């Protein structure tokens, strides 16, 4: 049986995930060779939301507004003109052409147009064949990262003790509330290393150009970064620190050692780890007391996604709990196969429970049935706890992983935050959940 | 103060090749329309990304996920090369377990280009399922979301209307309330329904919002209809007039925003529905209420006096807003950028401009870049627009942006209308709050000691 | 590596010309791969003794069903060794009246490129045999950047085949790049009146700014070999017909001058050209 999501559940297509990556580059003007719907949607989802929370300016989005005539007669000429117009309007450093279903099916050759346009404009012009049906969730970001490699120039001289952080997308992180990416950066700087650029989390074209001059690549998100890391190692010989998400002490130490080792900063890293761990003694104690002997149900939803959930499973184990990962859909396993293989190699193979509701047709029905099953599952353990979103009301102490003030989860600040979250969970375990929320979510 | 009197430029888009859209595509507009039918299922015959557009349409209609559903065939390379009709048929059959009264099948760009015939698939399979199926060919490349609304309305009306033969006296149906950039346009719809009720008229059908399937059976029995948008819905209205002799009310009039437009609109309704007294009472009571409320709440008039403004919106909000802010709020509009506009609405606008003795710079079918460019040229003191204009205004040093139209980044638990009397208060509230909200000085801030 | 594409009206004999050309190149010791770009998947039949080899798209579909992408395809599953070690590939595509064959050809060709098929087999010549009417973008994929550089048009003495070839020349004109890709020549596949055909096709080729390469004779020998699903060079190697193909192959090898064609714009002009030779 081929794992497929049921008809009521659809992840973003190749076009969306490709755009999400490219959107993280500054002074980049996308020229989408397609109709307005795709264009406005990704702009609304990624650009506009990004400006609201991170305070960056609203960068432009444009398209060739393909209509029926363009589909029938081809739109390459229009695309070339659109790229030239984009240069005049937006003065970007980089123009990226995306193809959509319309332009992909009729065979408009966006790559050739990109080459041609580059001779006529100042900006660098790249093209991604990102028609939605032409791949899946994963191939979008893999192809996007592959394409930006064309911007990377041969190293002039090695930037010592400098790394790229790869696997990022959409743009810079939230301001004021330091996010996982900021925590990673902080740790890197704390051991005396430097970051050339975060690809592609608000990076510049210049940082991408210099990307080959670093000593090492390390990923923020293993799943999204792994392709770029592998390719840069294969093609340019840049070592890639293959470590998972830094949830908890062990994983964080592994992550930072994965960076420190190749850079010759092991000593500094060991020192930092010892200091940070020491400073967190109280929080670590809280986490141990909370997790010890418990059965931790970690549900995979929008957030945490599968890779985070598996990293969390490892973390709770470290603190003495028995993790059970709930609802990693077989389709998701297929989508995230490279990461799943990596985790298995690391020795991670937690218990998995799949609810019947996971496979039900209809998003409401699926959610409602899963909720009922979760409550039942939780009740079967003496000492279950739940980690995930407060959309669920499993009737056991639950740790809210989705509150905006709860980030980062990564690294040492992450441990502090998670300790605070579990403390809150303990203190409030006796409080009844809101009937209002329950009825809104699951009906009467 | 920029002297722009006497200059008016009608700048229509000329074959825009590099387009920064305000609007989504026809597929989205069709999805919006279909999802207005309560308890329906919308099946997107499309690759998986288009599902997210249907999701956005779902939110726009405030659909209830415990009742309304979305499915997608999630077409991949294989289905594009070899055809996706079989997958569509299988998915429709799968949906039987959902117990729905009706399914709308929407085709996207990909399957339409390769020639998947959703109409035949739906026809052939309809005998095997126990729900109504309405195919809608609404590929994104067919136009923008307003075109999509028209396409969907046509498909729905042609498939679902039953000619009852008789007319229900004093009955009305309402068209395209959702083609309105007010983020809580349902408030406008509710106001219209209340008004009609008070005038003794019965609303037989709304196309579409919270529409029951039975309403389609009633449509033909309506005596009259009203198009609640200047951007879409006129075609559906013309169809109903032609087929069932349904008369259009308030044709050629700006929608009821502001004192003059609202009174005019109510008067027309009152005359046609034989409810002049009721209309007059609604108007005079409403006007009195607005005046008293403004007095008590302290309407700040001084900063609005002859304020140079721009309006960047759709025609549904943009055109009627003109009268309100000019006559009632004493502002002077120097730029009007409309995202879209029906031909009839252009005429309405021209009359309004004449009546108000205004000649702003005009851009039809504006895209984001054009509006920013125009704002940069005209440099008004305030912009009535969306969150997009807020960013433009920050870049251009324009002090005030009143975020009336979508996308705003303001959450609303309550549906705030712009039509009618409460509508004026809502707009004034928005102006006040956004005026106060003007971006703070970065230079003058310092840290207090406590 | 030479990359050659064969275009022409449907049924004109492209596959016959292509497979015999491939065999002639092979005889000369060149490593050859023939890529059939037609959902009918019958281009390489003469090289596989009539066996219809699995198509790229079929194989891709199987992998997609298993949740894999194109990189999971093994080259041995799509590239097959035919007679005398000529590599054979069929793009495949949908059945008539459904799906999108153009997109199919485009996808199949891209898969060959992404899997680095030509490098892996170390081929010297690639021969693309493309289906009749180039009606949408996908069918032009074999002559896009990175693919075929020399394009040949196959015509007969029938006016409609010349008209179709002229039309295809418009696509070639649009996609040509100076000194890189272009129209390499016109190949005649005789329908009987050799003198007439030689005249009109030479004139036509000249009008296009190119040259007339060779006329393949109409012959029961060729037809007999077709029925046996064999190339002439294999089945009747000492025949005059086989010589004709060898000559054609030599001319193609020696011809390295693709041009940007100048197709005739007006139908009446083309008709006049044709009528000129009818009279003589």
C133 part of the active site: yes
B314-367 pLDDT, tens digit each: 999 999 999 999 999 999 999 999 999 888 999 999 999 999 999 999 999 999
Rounded Cα distance, B374 and B363, in Å: 9
Rounded Cα distance, B178 and A112, in Å: 42
A393-401, Cβ contacts within 8 angstroms, sequence gap of 24 or more: A393/A433, A393/A437, A393/A438, A394/A297, A396/A297, A396/A429, A397/A425, A397/A426, A397/A429, A398/A425, A398/A429, A399/A425, A400/A424, A400/A425, A401/A303, A401/A304, A401/A312
Tokens of A352: 């998995």
- Spell out a b/e string for C209-219, using b for 16 or more CB atoms within 10 Å of the CB, else e: ebbbbbbbbbb
pLDDT at A293 over 70: yes
| DSSP state, residue C50 | T
Rounded Cα distance, A175 and A182, in Å: 10
C170 part of the active site: no
Rounded Cα distance, A239 and A229, in Å: 8
Q: Mutate which of A107, A116, A117 to disrupt the C interface (most C C-beta within 10 Å)?
A: A107
Rounded Cα distance, C276 and C76, in Å: 52
Name residue A98's beta-bridge partners. A32, A128
A200 preceded by a cis bond (ω within 30 of 0): yes
**Average predicted confidence (pLDDT) for chain A:** 94
Q: What is the mean pLDDT of residues A342-364?
A: 92
In angstroms, the Cα distances linking A330 to A4, A5, A299, B368, B427 are: 8, 8, 14, 42, 50
Residues of B in contact with A67 (CB under 8 A): 141-143
Q: Does A341 touch chain C (CB under 8 A)?
A: no
B28-68 pLDDT, tens digit each: 999 999 999 999 999 999 999 999 999 999 999 999 999 99
For residue C7, the tally of other CB atoms under 10 A from its CB is: 30
φ, ψ for residue C150, nearest 5 deg: -110, 125
Contact A2/C103, CB-based, under 8 Å?
Answer: no
Percentage of chain A lying above the pLDDT 90 cut: 84
B82-120 pLDDT, tens digit each: 999 999 999 999 999 998 999 999 999 999 999 889 999
Which pLDDT band holds residue C134 (cuts at 50, 70, 90)? confident
Of B18, B25, B43, the CB nearest to A82: B18
Q: What is the per-residue pLDDT for B1? A: 28
Beta strands in C23-165 (DSSP E): 32-37, 80-81, 87-90, 125-130, 150-155
Identify the three-state secondary structure at position B174: strand
Q: What is the per-residue pLDDT for B440? A: 64
Rounded Cα distance, B189 and B195, in Å: 10
Q: What is the per-residue pLDDT for A1? A: 53
Q: Does A158 touch chain C (CB under 8 A)?
A: no
Residues of B in contact with A58 (CB under 8 A): 388, 391-392
Q: What is the per-residue pLDDT for B10? A: 28
Query: Which of B:368-397 have CB within 8 Å of C?
Result: none
User: What ipTM did this prediction achieve?
Assistant: 0.93
B381-437 pLDDT, tens digit each: 999 999 999 999 999 999 999 999 999 988 999 999 999 999 999 999 999 988 877
- pTM here? 0.89
A111-126 pLDDT, tens digit each: 999 999 999 999 999 9
- Spell out a b/e string for A314-334, using b for 16 or more CB atoms within 10 Å of the CB, else e: bbbbbbebbbbbbbbbbbbeb
Residues of A in contact with B51 (CB under 8 A): 10
Contact A36/B25, CB-based, under 8 Å?
Answer: yes
């Amino acid at each position: 049986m081929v794992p497929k999501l049921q008809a009521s559940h659809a992840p973003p297509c190749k076009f969306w995930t490709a755009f999400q990556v490219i959107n993280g580059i500054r002074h980049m003007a996308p020229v989408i060779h397609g109709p307005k719907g795709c264009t406005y949607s990704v702009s609304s989802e990624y650009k506009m939301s990004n400006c609201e929370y991170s305070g960056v300016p609203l960068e432009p989005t444009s398209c060739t507004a393909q209509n029926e005539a363009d589909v029938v007669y081809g739109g390459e000429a229009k695309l070339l003109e659109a790229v030239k117009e984009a240069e005049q309007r937006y003065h970007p450093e980089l123009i990226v052409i995306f193809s959509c279903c319309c332009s992909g099916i009729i065979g408009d050759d966006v790559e050739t147009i990109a080459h041609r346009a580059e001779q006529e404009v100042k900006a660098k012009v790249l093209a991604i064949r990102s028609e939605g049906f032409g791949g899946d969730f994963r191939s979008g970001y893999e192809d996007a990262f592959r394409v930006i490699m064309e911007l990377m120039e041969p190293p002039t001289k090695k930037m010592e003790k400098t790394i790229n952080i790869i696997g990022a997308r959409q743009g810079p992180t939230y301001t004021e509330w330091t996010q996982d990416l900021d925590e990673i950066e902080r740790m890197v700087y704390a051991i005396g290393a430097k970051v050339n650029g975060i690809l592609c989390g608000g990076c510049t074209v210049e940082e991408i150009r210099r990307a080959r001059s670093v000593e090492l690549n390390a990923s923020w998100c293993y799943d999204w970064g792994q392709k770029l890391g592998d390719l840069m190692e294969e093609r340019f010989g840049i070592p890639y620190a293959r470590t998972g998400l830094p949830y908890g002490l062990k994983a964080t130490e592994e992550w930072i050692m994965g960076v420190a080792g190749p850079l010759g900063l092991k000593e500094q890293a060991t020192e930092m780890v010892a200091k940070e761990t020491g400073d967190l003694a109280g929080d670590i104690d809280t986490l141990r007391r909370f997790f010890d002997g418990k059965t931790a149900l970690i549900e995979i939803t929008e957030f945490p996604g599968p890779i985070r959930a598996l990293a969390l499973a490892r973390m709770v184990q470290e603190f003495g709990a028995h993790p059970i990962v709930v609802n990693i859909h077989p389709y998701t396993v297929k989508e995230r196969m490279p990461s799943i293989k990596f985790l298995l190699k690391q020795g991670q193979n937690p218990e998995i429970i799949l609810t019947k509701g996971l496979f039900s047709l209809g998003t409401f029905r699926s959610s409602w049935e899963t909720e009922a099953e979760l409550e039942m599952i939780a009740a079967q353990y003496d000492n279950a706890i739940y980690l995930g979103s407060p959309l669920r009301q499993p009737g056991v102490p639950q740790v809210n992983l989705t509150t905006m003030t709860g980030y980062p989860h990564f690294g040492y600040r992450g441990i502090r935050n998670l300790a605070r979250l579990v403390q809150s969970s303990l203190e409030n375990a006796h409080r009844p959940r809101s009937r209002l929320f329950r009825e809104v979510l699951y009906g009467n | 103060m920029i002297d722009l009197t006497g200059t008016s430029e009608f700048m229509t888009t000329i074959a825009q090749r590099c387009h920064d859209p305000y609007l989504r595509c026809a597929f989205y507009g069709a999805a919006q329309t279909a999802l207005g039918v309560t308890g329906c299922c919308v099946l997107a015959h499309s690759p998986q990304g288009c599902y997210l557009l249907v999701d956005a349409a779902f939110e726009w209609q405030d659909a209830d996920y415990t009742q309304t559903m979305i499915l997608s065939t999630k077409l991949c390379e294989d289905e594009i090369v070899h055809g996706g009709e079989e997958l569509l048929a299988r998915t429709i059959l799968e949906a039987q377990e959902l117990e729905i009264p009706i399914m709308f099948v929407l085709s996207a760009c990909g399957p339409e280009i390769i020639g998947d015939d959703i109409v035949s698939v739906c026809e052939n399979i309809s005998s095997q399922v126990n729900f109504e199926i309405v195919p809608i060919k609404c590929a994104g490349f067919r136009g923008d979301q307003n075109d999509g609304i028209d396409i969907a309305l046509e498909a729905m009306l042609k498939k679902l209307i039953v000619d009852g033969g008789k007319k229900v006296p004093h009955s009305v149906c309402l068209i395209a309330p959702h083609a309105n950039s007010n983020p809580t346009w349902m408030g406008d719809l509710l106001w219209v329904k209340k008004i009609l009720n008070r005038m003794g008229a019965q609303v037989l059908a709304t196309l579409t919002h919270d529409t029951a399937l039975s309403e389609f059976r009633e449509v033909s029995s309506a005596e009259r209809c009203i198009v609640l948008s200047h951007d879409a819905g006129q075609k559906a209205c013309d169809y109903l007039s032609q087929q069932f002799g349904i008369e259009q009310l308030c044709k050629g009039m700006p929608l009821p925003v502001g004192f003059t437009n609202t009174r005019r609109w109510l008067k027309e309704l009152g005359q046609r529905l034989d409810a002049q007294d009721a209309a007059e009472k609604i108007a005079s009571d409403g006007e009195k209420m607005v005046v008293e409320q403004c007095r008590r709440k302290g309407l700040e008039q001084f900063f609005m006096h002859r304020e140079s403004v721009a309006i960047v919106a759709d025609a549904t909000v943009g055109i009627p807003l003109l009268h309100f802010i000019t006559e009632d709020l004493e502002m002077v509009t120097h730029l009007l950028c409309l995202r879209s506009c029906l031909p009839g609405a252009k005429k309405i606008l021209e009359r309004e401009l004449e009546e108000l003795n205004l000649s702003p710079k005009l851009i039809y079918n504006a895209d984001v870049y054009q509006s920013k460019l125009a704002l940069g040229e005209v440099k008004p003191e305030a912009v009535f627009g969306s969150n997009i204009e807020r960013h433009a205004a920050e870049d251009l040093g324009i002090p005030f942006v009143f975020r009336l139209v979508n996308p705003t980044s303001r959450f609303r638990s309550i549906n705030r209308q712009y039509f009618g009397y409460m509508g004026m208060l809502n707009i004034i509230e928005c102006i006040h709050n956004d005026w106060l909200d003007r971006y703070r000085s970065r230079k003058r801030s310092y840290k207090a000691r406590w | 590596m030479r990359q050659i594409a064969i275009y022409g009206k449907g049924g004109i004999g492209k596959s016959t010309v292509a497979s015999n050309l491939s065999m002639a190149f092979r005889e000369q010791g060149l490593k050859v791969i023939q890529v059939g770009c037609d959902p009918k998947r019958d281009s390489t039949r003469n090289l596989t003794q009539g066996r219809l080899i699995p198509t790229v798209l079929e194989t891709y579909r199987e992998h997609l069903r298993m949740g894999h992408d194109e990189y999971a395809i093994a080259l041995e599953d799509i590239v097959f060794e035919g007679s005398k070690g000529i590599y054979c590939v069929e793009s495949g595509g949908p059945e008539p009246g459904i799906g999108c064959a153009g997109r199919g050809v485009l996808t199949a060709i891209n898969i060959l490129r992404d899997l680095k098929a030509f490098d892996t087999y170390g081929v010297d010549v690639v021969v693309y045999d493309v289906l009749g009417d180039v009606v949408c973008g996908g069918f032009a994929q074999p002559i896009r950047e990175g693919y075929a550089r020399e394009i040949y048009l196959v015509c007969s003495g029938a006016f409609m085949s010349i008209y179709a070839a002229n039309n295809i020349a418009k696509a070639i004109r649009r996609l040509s790049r100076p000194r890189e890709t272009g129209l390499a020549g016109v190949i005649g596949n005789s329908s009987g009146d050799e003198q007439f055909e030689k005249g009109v096709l030479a004139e036509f080729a000249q009008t296009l700014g190119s040259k007339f390469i060779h006329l393949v004779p109409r012959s029961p020998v060729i037809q007999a070999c077709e029925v046996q699903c064999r190339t002439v060079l294999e089945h009747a190697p000492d025949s005059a017909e086989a010589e004709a193909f060898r000559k054609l192959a030599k001319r193609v090898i020696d011809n390295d001058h693709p041009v940007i064609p100048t197709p005739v714009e007006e139908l009446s002009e083309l008709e006049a050209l044709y009528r000129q030779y009818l009279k003589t």
